[in-house]
Structure 1
Amino acid sequence: MKYTTLGKTQLQVSRIALGGYPFSGVNKVNGWDPYSSEGRATAIRTIHTALDAGINYIDTAPSYGNGHSESIIGDVLKTRRDDCYLATKVGWKGLDKAAVIKSVEESLSRLQTDYVDVIQFHGGMYTATDTDYILNAGPLEALESLKSQGKVRWLGLTTEEPFSALDLVETGHFSVVQPCYNIIYQSAALHLLKKTAEKNIGVAVMRPMTSGIFQRTLEHLEPQVLAATDVYALCMKFLLSDSRVDVLNIGMRWPEEVEQNIRLLEAFTPSVDVSDIPRLTARIYQTDDERKGVK
């Protein structure tokens, strides 16, 4: 297993993490139902397989199946809590300090642990009003209170639209950020990832494999590319090649998926830092000339 340091937390984490959403999402065509007794048992085997292989970061959320994902993970962690770092999330919209604390404590109960390593505000796109509410209406105070009690170790946030989280990142309250960032959605590279690198904030990416969106798009537009290229591996290689990314939160349903992802991780060594790849037309032109020695 390959490990790295998760920013200022100094946690030594595996480059790939076990994402908890699949333990709440039904996919009938592929025979996946974590609400069935068989599906739950498979999910538990998957978690054990990941931990046995050295994956030591698990990420989930209470909104994943109204606590179902957390409860499955808790069934494993009740005997293996020391084998991993655990991250979960908490809502904040319309919640005061007491409600945020209650939500986190309910998560701890489902997870069968007395603390989580990272607690993250579960956000999509933050408006200025949202940011003000989090900072001044109780949600942040709630997490700070839980931290002082030892129930959470580090504060973080998630964001579907990285630009909208910049003001929160600037506050210095957060040690981990989970942005949507992948080979087809690269806006974080223009701003957020520069800021997290400057502030030594850990980055645990959501949707690293694009949640299948890239594959579905190719299926409709260029099926021959999908047939000829391991697009899944390409998505992983892209993120493993970005020096600003610490962890890839990958949803894995079956033990075989864990083993596949570990093989891909172990077989790949980056030859370039994609953080250096230009993302603006002028810079592409300039580097084209530089690479070909044209002045």
Structure 2
Amino acid sequence: MRSVQLPGFAMAAGAIGFGCASLGSRVAPADGVRAMAEAHAAGVNWFDVAPAYGAGDAESILGTFARGRRDQLLICTKVGLAPPQRNALLKSAYAAARPLVGALKGLRKAFRRIPATRNVAVPLTPALLVESLERSLRRLGTDHVDVFALHKPVHADIARDDILQALSDLRRAGKVRHVGVAGDAHAAQLALAHPDVYTVLQLADDPVDQPLRRLQAAAAGRLSFITHSVLGVDGMRERLTQALHAGGAPAVRRLTDAGYAGNAEQTVSQLLVDRALAANAGGVVLMSMFSSKHRAANIARAEGKVRPDAIELVADLLADGGRAAR
């Protein structure tokens, strides 16, 4: 797999990272550990987790996987969201529903819409930062994390003096190698004003608005970017699939000539993955890894050459589809 050297990191990172949001909830622990091991064997070494993930169990499961491998991994965890309330009941529901939820996409979406499954925002204080990190370290079974990020923070908190000081203190203590912000594009923009504290920015990669391009230009190579939601920003895969149909034979022929084959959904998925890898060629793109099918497909795209033309293809497909719809 292609690797990238992130600014200030001693270890190179694989071009794609393993998102652990479903680890322990939708995905059973044993299945998750097996998926992580197979991804790691293929070159994936970035693992993205948070205290709220997996209904609160993801960090502990990742810690089980990391045992004996810690020096080969780059781990990002966060602070700011807690697992859903009534967590014991939720975990039981997840365990009972896993066979169906794993097989039915519609059921997964419906499950996520249930209020009881939503994570809870926690007000940030210096004491909370310290306590949350200590709990994460215990669950992960490590003495440090490579990235400690504010998780969907209130924008005003990003520049608070007490928060900046607490984060800097944790980094100086050696428990945190890098500090980041994992939120929306505006949160990332605010973090740019404090490059002495925030050195990692995580956000969704939106092919339409393209905030990543603007942020990269402003960062001038000084910061690391982690992107996610390759297929899912505002239903992007569905929008592109509709645009492909609307564009008709010329649109299909252009993608075929560019090397994209299969049915419309497969073609669009390949194109979006290539676009994300090209848009964040110097960073890490978080991708779906729990399904063996998705894992193999995504790793295969990351083993190929970067496709800058995919950025233009996506933009043109959206524009042509929009004109056809009118």
Q: Which residue of 1 aligns with 2:43?
A: 54
- Could you tell me which runs of 5 or more consecutive residues in structure 2 were left unpaired when the two chains were aligned: 82-121, 247-261, 320-326
State, as a whole percentage, how many aligned pairs show the same letter.
25
User: C-alpha distance in 1, partners of 2:209/2:47?
Assistant: 23
Residue number among 225, 232, 246 corresponding to 1:210 in the alignment: 232
Q: Which residue of 2 aligns with 1:178?
A: 202
Q: 1:227 to 1:25 in 2, by over 3 A?
A: farther
Q: 1:237 to 1:166 in 2, by over 3 A?
A: same
Is the Cα contact below 8 Å between 1:193 and 1:244 reproduced in 2?
no
Q: Which residue of 1 aligns with 2:73?
A: 84
User: C-alpha distance in 2, partners of 1:121/1:12?
Assistant: 23
Alignment-mate amino acid for residue 84 of structure 1: L
Q: 1:208 to 1:10 in 2, by over 3 A?
A: farther
Q: CA deviation at 1:180?
A: 1.3
Alignment-mate amino acid for residue 157 of structure 2: D
Q: 1:91 to 1:49 in 2, by over 3 A?
A: same
1:194 aligned onto 2:194? no
Aligned pair count reads 259
Alignment-mate amino acid for residue 136 of structure 2: S
Q: Superposed, which structure 2 residues align to 1:241-256 within 5 Å?
A: 241-242=278-279, 245-256=282-293
SS at match of 1:263: helix
SS at match of 1:79: coil
1:94 aligned onto 2:116? no
User: C-alpha distance in 2, partners of 1:200/1:89?
Assistant: 21
SS at match of 2:192: helix
Alignment-mate amino acid for residue 177 of structure 1: L
SS at match of 2:225: strand
RMSD: 3.0
Q: 1:228 to 1:244 in 2, by over 3 A?
A: closer
User: C-alpha distance in 2, partners of 1:76/1:112?
Assistant: 10
User: C-alpha distance in 1, partners of 2:209/2:173?
Assistant: 38
User: C-alpha distance in 1, partners of 2:52/2:12?
Assistant: 27
Q: CA deviation at 1:5?
A: 1.1
Q: CA deviation at 1:61?
A: 0.9
Q: Which residue of 1 aligns with 2:137?
A: 108
Residue number among 161, 172, 188 corresponding to 1:165 in the alignment: 188
Alignment-mate amino acid for residue 118 of structure 1: V
Cα-to-partner distance string for 1:157-203 (whole Å, 9 max, x where unaligned): 1122x1343232121111111121143452332x322222x151011
Q: CA deviation at 1:216?
A: 4.0
Q: Which residue of 2 aligns with 1:12?
A: 12
- Could you tell me which runs of 5 or more consecutive residues in structure 1 were left unpaired when the two chains were aligned: 27-33, 285-295
Residue number among 146, 160, 163 corresponding to 1:139 in the alignment: 163
User: C-alpha distance in 2, partners of 1:107/1:187?
Assistant: 30
User: C-alpha distance in 2, partners of 1:278/1:8?
Assistant: 33
Is the Cα contact below 8 Å between 1:43 and 1:254 reproduced in 2?
no
TM-score between both structures, scaled by the size of structure 1 = 0.77
Alignment-mate amino acid for residue 40 of structure 1: P
Cα-to-partner distance string for 1:63-101 (whole Å, 9 max, x where unaligned): 213431111111101221122111111118523211111
Is the Cα contact below 8 Å between 2:23 and 2:61 reproduced in 1?
yes
Cα-to-partner distance string for 1:143-163 (whole Å, 9 max, x where unaligned): 222212211111111122x13
User: C-alpha distance in 1, partners of 2:165/2:288?
Assistant: 31
Q: 1:82 to 1:8 in 2, by over 3 A?
A: closer
User: C-alpha distance in 2, partners of 1:100/1:243?
Assistant: 29
User: C-alpha distance in 2, partners of 1:214/1:24?
Assistant: 27
User: C-alpha distance in 2, partners of 1:19/1:171?
Assistant: 26
Q: 1:164 to 1:145 in 2, by over 3 A?
A: closer
